[in-house]
Structure 1
Amino acid sequence: MHTPSPPLPATSPSRATPGVRTIALTQPMHWVILAWRDMARCGWISFAHGLVLALVGAVILAVAHDRFWLLAGALSGFLVVAPALATSLYALSRALERGEKADIGVVLKTWLNWQNNHINKWGNDYWCLVQFGALLALAGTGWVLTSAALITLLAPVPITTPLAFIQHVVLARDGFLFELWLALGGVLAAPIFASTAVAMPLLLDRRVTLMQAVLTSWRAVLANPMPMAFWAALIMGFTLLGLGSALLGLIAVMPMLGHASWHAYRDLVDVSALPERDALAKDAR
């Protein structure tokens, strides 16, 4: 007689493949509405995330204000790692969904002790969020260097101001630097968006491996090409709005996009067969 294999312990990543749902084209607008509701319920703690990110952007501006060849890549590279920086926003939306308190305690637990029931603190499962954040940081750094190299090597004159960038790169009649810059940025942005669309909330919420989370994110994007393209356009539009308002708009835009990303994950991925990361802690209560 065949003896069934024992179930995986709660501290092991699940081998189950998360299901992916299809959504309507306009569903991303619903995520934005839900995000604003979450921000209203969380209050200052949500806007504090946006303030921190806006201050980071201000530091980038201060360091590279007269080096626009570096500034263009640094700001866009900073946005590459934004999904990792928004992790505690996902946790706040999850707490609201569960009817729990969404306060500073949730934020501190997310960043300092996000798996307090995890036995093995040295395994890949425990550090998957950190690993993913490091990969995003590496991708962002790569883009900063690539962008700076393109502009400094191929621009006809030194690019030190936004006006010089517009005049000699964007509006240049002879040359293809701006088109090349956009094309390379798109080559980087498309796979990063596909890899991060739901991966970070999934890693936070369920006990899956980093590879499972990334593949699930790709499957969700490929199963919903038009709605996810619309979502990417909304992210770009809101981000440009935040940057174009002297970074002040980022105080509201960044937490809104973070909360909305949680609701995107909940709509796109069926996690009913996956164990929760903090299941043991919840049972203990």
Structure 2
Amino acid sequence: MHEVNKIDAEDIAAALKAGFSDFLARPVMSGFFGLFYAIFGLLFVWSLVWLGKIWMIIPAIVGFPLVAPFAAAGLYEMSRRLQKGEAFSWSDILTVMADQRKREMGWMAFVTLFVFWVWMYQVRLWLAIILQDVPFSGFDGFLSIVFSTPEGWTFLAVGTVAGAILSAVLFSLTVVAMPMLLDRETNFVSAMLTSIAVVRESPVVMLGWAAIISVTMILSMVPAFIGLVFALPILGHTTWHLYQRAVPVSEK
């Protein structure tokens, strides 16, 4: 585990400003990563409809931001190079991303996707327990039951609590771990422990940042995930700068 700094609201504001500046510096390349993430989200939802898994659409949309930190790897590298004043091309960024599969980033991807899988599985479990005797057909019918019946309200309440716990756990594990693995030669366990230490050192501010990310990402998915083209890049660049403030100067 590495030494960490205490983070306050001014650090969040400064990181957001720097993240927005990075987005404006290379808007097309930054937007590409947001567009890719948005298209993947649309295809994911379409596949659930095609497979008839309509009950999975809401939890999938709610849980989709959980995998955003891994999707933003290219944005971290862009911010790293912009911060150092280095020139770079598409091939430079994509090559760095491809090389991550040989490093510890792959393990972090596994952790992220595992938590997402746990989230989807527990939603299915609560669906079976709470709504087992409530019939519905089609997505509209599912929405009607969830938002207008006692069983649906219970399902939402339980799902919200469980989702909040999982989100808090994953956020604590990854908030600086992803950019740290790209920036330094370290193992994923050390990166996760450092990330947890950052949250533990400044819990209120960091959980506030988690809330900003969650609300922004969910609102950006309405309609049709379009807002993610802008939201993901800005939040990804911002995360890099927040990592730089939270963890003392790179050892490289």
> TM-score, normalised to structure 2's length?
0.90
- Matched to 2:115, the amino acid is A
Match of 1:133 in 2: 109
Deviates more, 1:77-86 or 1:183-192: 77-86
1:197 aligns with 2:184: no
1:139 is paired with a residue whose SS is helix
SS in 1 for 2:9: coil
The CA deviation at 1:88 is 1.0
- Return the match for 1:99 from 57, 62, 85: 85
SS in 1 for 2:78: helix
**Deviation sequence 1:74-116 (CA, Å, 0-9, x none):** 233432222111111100000000101243123222122359x
Offset, 1:27: 2.8
Structure 1 residue 149 and structure 2 residue 125: aligned? yes
Alpha-carbon offset, residue 157 of structure 1: 2.7
Q: Distance in 2 between matches of 1:226 and 1:159?
A: 42
Q: Does 1:75 align with 2:61?
A: yes
Structure 2, unpaired ranges of 5+: none
Percent of aligned pairs with the same amino acid:
26
Structure 1 CA distance for aligned equivalents of residues 142 and 172 of structure 2? 29
| Contact 2:100 2:106 (C-alpha < 8 Å) held by counterparts | no
Q: Which of 215, 219, 228 is 1:241 aligned to?
A: 219
Does 1:109 pair with 2:95?
yes
Q: For 1:138 and 1:187, how far apart are their aligned partners in 2?
A: 15
Matches within 5 A, 1:1-285: 17-65=1-49, 67-113=53-99, 126-155=102-131, 156-158=134-136, 160-161=138-139, 163-173=140-150, 176-272=154-250, 274=251, 276=252
Q: Could you say what secondary structure the match of 2:150 adopts? A: coil
| Separation (CA, whole Å) in 2 of partners of 1:36 and 1:165 | 38
SS at match of 1:72: helix
What runs of 5+ residues in structure 1 fail to find an aligned partner? 1-16, 116-125, 277-285
Larger Rg: 1
Alpha-carbon distance between aligned partners in 1 of 2:174 and 2:117, rounded to the nearest angstrom: 17
Contact residue 130 and residue 154 of structure 2 kept, 8 A: no
What are the superposed Cα offsets for residues 191-244 of structure 1, whole Å, 9 maximum, x if unpaired?
Answer: 100001100001110111111100000000011111112101110121122112
Q: Between Structure 1 and Structure 2, which shows a larger proportion of helix residues? A: 2
Q: Structure 1 159/199 Cα, relative in aligned 2: closer, same or farther at 3 Å?
A: farther
Would you say the 8 A contact 1:87–1:201 is kept in 2? yes
1:143 Cα deviation after fit: 1.4
> 1:43-66: CA deviations, max 9, x gaps?
211000011011011102212236
1:32–1:170: structure 2 CA closer, same or farther, 3 Å change rule? farther
Structure with the larger RCO, 1 or 2 (CA within 8 Å, 6+ apart): 2
Counterpart CA distance in 2 for 1:52 and 1:35 is 19
User: What CA distance in whole angstroms lies between the structure 2 residues aligned with 1:159 and 1:198?
Assistant: 42
| Cα 1:159–1:140 shift into 2, 3 Å | farther
Instruction: Report the CA distance shift for 1:158/1:226 in structure 2 as closer, same or farther (over 3 A).
Output: same
Please tell me the residue identity of whatever aligns with 1:87: A
Task: Calculate the TM-score normalised by the size of structure 1.
Answer: 0.80
Mean Cα deviation higher: 50-59 or 135-144: 135-144
Deviation at 1:166, TM superposition (A): 4.2
